[in-house]
A and B are shown apart, each in its own frame.
Chain A
Amino acid sequence: DAKTTQPPSMDCAEGRAANLPCNHSTISGNEYVYWYRQIHSQGPQYIIHGLKNNETNEMASLIITEDRKSSTLILPHATLRDTAVYYCIVSFKAAGNKLTFGGGTRVLVKP
């Protein structure tokens, strides 16, 4: 699975958009980009995933660059409950689709 690089931490003001970058320059053509988040001492929560096109759901938007070497997760209106560690993962359907979690980005939403 391709490796990802994320900033270790970032702050965001409550009510503003949070833009979380992820680099995955070695991604292969059939690998998907997944985003999960983990609130302190809980299990990770699935947010969104995509292959080539931008994706949006009730939680977030995922913007993938045309060359697929990087992506951005957008939380449109951050709330205090969005404070968590956000993991960007690339994976394809093989070997049980195991997910390789790196260090993630620790997001602190401030009032």
Chain B
Amino acid sequence: DGGITQSPKYLFRKEGQNVTLSCEQNLNHDAMYWYRQDPGQGLRLIYYSQIVNDFQKGDIAEGYSVSREKKESFPLTVTSAQKNPTAFYLCASSVQRKATDTQYFGPGTRLTVL
């Protein structure tokens, strides 16, 4: 089965704790993305990576960190510096070689900070 997996589906953390969200893809895609979605809102880009060992900030990168040590994996760490971490987090990937890079999304992780 090819696709993007995110785990866990639901995650609870205490305020002040860092938490890492997993994103894995076996589509052999070059680029990976992290988005955040708040209730009733569209998606906002946190970070993206076009190639291994390289990544760029998106529109709302403050309070988040990422790594891209392997092509298949793009974990997102929500740090204690993120003021409102409770949200639905979505990971996506795309092939970079085509003129139009359709992004394919994972099922998402719903993070609740208590």
Contact = CB atoms under 8 A, between A and B. Distances in A.
Interface of A: 32, 34, 41-46, 49, 87, 93, 95-104
Contacts of A49: 100, 102
A42 B103 CA distance: 15
Interface in B74-108: 88, 90, 92, 94, 96, 99-108
Interface residues of B, number: 30
Nearest to A43: B105
B53 interface: no
A43 B106 contact: yes
B104 A46 contact: yes
Contacts, number: 57
B103 A101 contact: no
Interface of B is mostly: strand
Contact of B107 (A43, A96, A98, A102): A43
Given A43-B106, A45-B105, A49-B102, A97 B31 contact: yes
Given A87-B42, A96-B50, A98-B48, A46 B33 contact: no
Contact of B44 (A32, A93, A101): A101
Contact of B90 (A32, A34, A44): A44
Q: Select the residue from B4, B92, B102 with max chain A CB neighbours within 10 A.
A: B102
A26 to B, nearest CB: 18
7 contacts: A46-B102, A93-B100, A96-B31, A96-B50, A96-B56, A98-B33, A101-B44
A104 B31 CA distance: 24
A44 B101 contact: no
